[in-house]
A and B are shown apart, each in its own frame.
Chain A
Amino acid sequence: MSYLMNSGEILQTIQMINRQHLDVRTITMGISLLDCADAELDACCRKIYDKICRCAGNLVQTGCDIENEFGIPIVNKRISVTPISLVAAACAAESYAPLARTLDRAAKETGVNFIGGFSALAQKGFTESDLRLIRSIPEALSETELVCGSVNLASTRSGINMDAVRLMGRIIKQTSERGPMGCAKLVVFANAVEDNPFMAGAFHGVGEPETVINVGVSGPGVVAHALKECKGASFDVVAETIKRTAFKITRMGELVAQEASRRLQVPFGVVDLSLAPTPAVGDSVAEILEIMGLERCGGHGTTAALALLNDAVKKGGVMASSHVGGLSGAFIPVSEDAGMIASAREGTLCLDKLEAMTCVCSVGLDMIAVPGDTEADTISAIIADEAAIGMVNNKTTAVRIIPVKGKTVGDSVDFGGLLGSAPIMPLHTGSASEFIARGGRIPAPLHSLRN
């Protein structure tokens, strides 16, 4: 095929990568561990370790090769596995922490920087195994470096498992007693997706193939740069500009995904076209909202701006990839976004506004630090609110909240690296204890009956 060189386009791509933080955020290999089940815990651990190392042995090297040849940074190479509560259900073990340590060892051996799937799907109720897994979370996530966990506790089809909501408030609190990192690797979901490549919520769903490659693209900086060019223009122009930019970003993700799939001989799953911010200056979702004309992210108008952004990103990306999936949209992790951190620090961005924003963003309350003395029931109530938004609006919502031991409003906490730093945010003081104590299930909404 002949190729006409267009130096303007080439310069644009190079600038996106060098100046605007364009990157592939993650290549995540999903691996089914269903065939690793064993009544003996030790045997189960051995099978899991061997399978992960066998399947993902070349993942990191392949990622680096693609990075070198195409000149696109691929920031993370990761693994997601079948929810461990399913894999371990046949084991007699009381604690699943040894399984988390096995995942950690396998992650280190393969060189990935996170492994997700210390997870349970309990939206309608618990199996014995779900409960064993959830009770192991504080130890499992605090004593491993690279293992991420998640619990799905609500869905539009099943309603909200309020027993799980109550339990997870306590588990988050217990995990936080052992340091903040455990909570930073733990997320609770409503309507969790089975092919999400992003952490902490990635797991390999039971409907997925044996192994699969999912790719998460990013690029808030590129969108911000493009929007700076259309100052004062109408929202029609803003939406169109975001769509065009998202198309280009996604095409790059698709190319990397197809190339990784071919080289690893692992089927391609989806491109997740999420705008995922990092703490680096110029790589912020909050900045995009501010460029749209808001003085500060978190002020009035923020929800509308985010709704437009989230929708335009999807519309632009959908045509650029053969399979779009995962969470796809815009993330709003407070500690990982320089603009969000600044707004939260000065008090413009509060938890109530973030909750409203989660109605229109692609996930939920993410990387939010709260006082260490927050009651477990208060955390449960925050989870219940978020799950209700997800359930009723037929979307994924999530809570990744970090009570920071010994700290209170006005302090801040530093997680390091991509996880960034966050000011401790104030919460409402009224107790929800009686509400949370009820237990049972909040029934699924009427529109769950779609057949």
Chain B
Amino acid sequence: MKAIVSVFAQDSKGIIAYVTRLLAEKEINILDISQTILQEYFAMIMLVDLSDCGMSFVELSSFLEARGRERGLDVHIQRQDIFDAMHRV
């Protein structure tokens, strides 16, 4: 299953390293990555593949949210289908 991981935070050093390490830990492959700064705010979007991830979606979602919060990051994971549905005819 493919999903979108979004990360929002006050910009600081090492955000990408921190988040990608979390994903690697859970055997999640990153397919695409995009990062931007919106008014001093860090915004990162990643397309990931969950095929080898052993956790359930709900467990993974709370894991990422909790570990993100520890470092002041707003991390969410959503199934990719929603973005596809909303923006593709």
Contacts and interface: CB of A to CB of B under 8 A. Distances in A.
A12 B32 CA distance: 18
A68 B61 contact: yes
B79 A248 contact: no
A6 B87 CA distance: 10
B82 A255 contact: yes
Contacts of A12: 87
Contacts of B86: 9, 13, 248, 251-252
Interface string B25-59: 00000011010100000010101000000000110
B61 A10 contact: no
A313 to B, nearest CB: 16
A71 interface: yes
Contacts of B67: none
Nearest to A6: B87
Contacts of A254: 85
B57 A68 contact: yes
A10 B85 contact: no
Interface in B48-78: 57-58, 61, 76-78
Nearest to A22: B86
Contacts of A69: 57-58, 61, 78-79
A292 to B, nearest CB: 24
Contact of A255 (B4, B6, B77, B85): B85
A208 B52 CA distance: 43
A319 to B, nearest CB: 8
A9 B86 CA distance: 9
Contact of A3 (B2, B34, B45, B61): B2
Interface in A1-59: 3, 5-7, 9-14
Given A5-B32, A7-B36, A68-B61, A251 B85 contact: yes
Contacts of A10: 4, 6, 45, 83
B31 to A, nearest CB: 8
Interface of A is mostly: helix
Contacts of B79: 69-71
B21 to A, nearest CB: 21
Nearest to B36: A7
Contacts of A319: 89
B87 A9 contact: yes
B83 A13 contact: yes
Contact of A70 (B32, B34, B36, B81): B81
A109 B40 CA distance: 48
Nearest to A252: B86
B45 A7 contact: yes
Contacts of B6: 10-11, 14
Contacts of B82: 13, 70-72, 252, 255
Interface string A244-287: 00001001101100000000000000000000000000000000
Contacts of B80: 3
Contacts of B57: 68-69
A65 B81 contact: no
A7 B34 contact: yes
B75 to A, nearest CB: 12
Given A68-B57, A251-B86, A5 B78 contact: no
A263 B53 CA distance: 22
B85 A3 contact: no
A125 B43 CA distance: 61
B44 to A, nearest CB: 9
A438 B85 CA distance: 54
A253 to B, nearest CB: 9
Contacts of B2: 3
A134 B18 CA distance: 63
A5 B61 contact: no
Contact of A11 (B43, B84, B85): B43
A251 B87 CA distance: 8
A5 B45 contact: yes
A68 B47 CA distance: 17
Contacts of B36: 7
Interface of A: 3, 5-7, 9-14, 65, 68-72, 248, 251-252, 254-255, 319
Interface of B: 2, 4, 6, 31-32, 34, 36, 43, 45, 47, 57-58, 61, 76-87, 89
Top 9 A-B residue pairs of the complex, sorted by shortest distance between their CB atoms? A71-B78, A7-B34, A255-B85, A5-B32, A9-B87, A7-B45, A5-B47, A251-B85, A248-B86
24 contacts: A3-B2, A3-B47, A3-B84, A7-B34, A7-B36, A7-B45, A9-B83, A11-B6, A11-B43, A13-B82, A14-B6, A65-B58, A68-B57, A69-B57, A70-B78, A70-B82, A71-B76, A71-B77, A71-B79, A252-B82, A252-B85, A252-B86, A255-B82, A319-B89
